[in-house]
Amino acid sequence: MTTIIFWVFVLLTVVSAFNVVHSHNLIYAALSLLLTLFGVAVLYIFLWADFLAGVQIIIYIGGILILLLFGIMLTHKIISIQITQLNMQRGAAGASALGILVILLWMIFKTPWFTMAALEPQGTVREIGILLLSDYLLPFEVASVLLLAALIGAAMLSRKTE
């Protein structure tokens, strides 16, 4: 049963990711991105990352995707012009992307991966919280400064200059 659910969500993720890069309508691409992000969140749950799955849904779907939709709607005239766009250089890009995929797959199946049987954690929120405020305190604070800088930078950039 879990195997079937796993493969269903893998298929959902891959097909909608293909639609993200291939759809001619940008709104459809954004909505496919929603499905992709949701499928990846489900895969996170298969990887025992319950907190990260929640973060994925809240930040990616609730934040970034909404920002992208805002961006699409602010930069296109929804009523008058179709939100379409064509892909350029499909042949060369497709060939090089396929080349990269083949190299990656060859690498993945050739490498003797070091695997360690891990124990299933009893929820990761507590441990992540402790780690963030002990071992990873400095990156945590730097991330807060980064977010502040991004906030100020975004406000500065989109402000009207007279």
CB 37 to other proteins: min, Å: 7
CB 31 to other proteins: min, Å: 11
| Helices vs. strands in the chain: H and E counts, helices first | 7, 0
The amino acid that residue 67 corresponds to is L
CB 7 to other proteins: min, Å: 7
46-to-7, 11, 116, 134 alpha-carbon distances in Å: 11, 15, 17, 27
